[in-house]
């Protein structure tokens, strides 16, 4: 039994398509870097309106998310993710893409359980674990240092 299992695992390992790791990494670097430069341009624009770098980061996120949602709707962002992999997914524009893409696809299931629920297929877990982690980190830091 055990050897059969091992043989099966070996087979699946062999059959699985090899991932072009180096090529993926280079594409992720270029695409992700470029998106961040676009973000820097937007932040720079808001800083020229008299905001500090910190104040400007919130409107920058809003604009980038808007762009990400728009490009996903137009079908352009899926191409960016296809070539850039995590370079397209990790920036905040990719977060917008991860919300819009399934919501658009499952629209036929209705406005509530189709669009409404599917918006959070990926965003849901990110918010759940992100919020929990932030709270735990904040509480631990408060306990240890006395200042949060």
Partner 1 sequence: MTFLWAFLIGGLLCVVAQLVMDWFRMTPGQVLVIFVMAGAILGGLGIYGKLVNFAGAGAAVPLPGFGYTMVEGIGQAVKQKGALGLFTGGLTAASGGIKAAVVFGLVAALIFKPKS
Considering only residues 6 through 25, tell me which ones interact with partner 1, judged by CB under 8 A.
19, 21, 24-25
CA angle (135 as vertex; 133, 136 as ends), nearest 5: 65
Scan for tokens 């800083």, then name that residue.
47
When asked if residue 45 is in the footprint of partner 1 (CB under 8 A), the reply is no
Spell 7-38 as b/e; 16+ CB within 10 A means b: eeeeeeeeeeeeeeeeeeeebbeebbeebeeb
Residues 89-118 interacting with partner 1 (rule: CB under 8 A): 89-96, 98-101, 103-105, 107, 115-116
When asked if residue 75 is in the footprint of partner 1 (CB under 8 A), the reply is yes
When asked if residue 137 is in the footprint of partner 1 (CB under 8 A), the reply is yes
Of 9, 10, 78, 109, the residue at the interface with partner 1 (CB under 8 A) is 78
């Amino acid at each position: 039994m055990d050897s059969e299992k091992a043989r099966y695992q070996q087979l699946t390992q062999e059959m699985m398509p090899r991932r072009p790791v180096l090529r993926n990494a280079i594409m992720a670097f270029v695409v992700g870097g470029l998106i961040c430069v676009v973000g820097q341009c937007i932040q720079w624009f808001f800083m020229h309106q008299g905001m500090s770098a910190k104040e400007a980061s919130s409107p920058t996120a809003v604009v980038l998310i808007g762009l990400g949602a728009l490009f996903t709707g137009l079908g352009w962002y899926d191409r960016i993710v296809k070539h850039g992999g995590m370079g397209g997914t990790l920036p905040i524009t990719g977060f917008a893409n991860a919300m819009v893409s399934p919501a658009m696809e499952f629209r036929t299931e209705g406005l509530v359980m189709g669009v409404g629920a599917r918006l959070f297929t990926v965003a849901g877990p990110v918010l759940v674990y992100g919020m929990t982690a932030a709270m735990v980190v904040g509480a631990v830091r408060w306990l240890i240092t006395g200042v949060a």
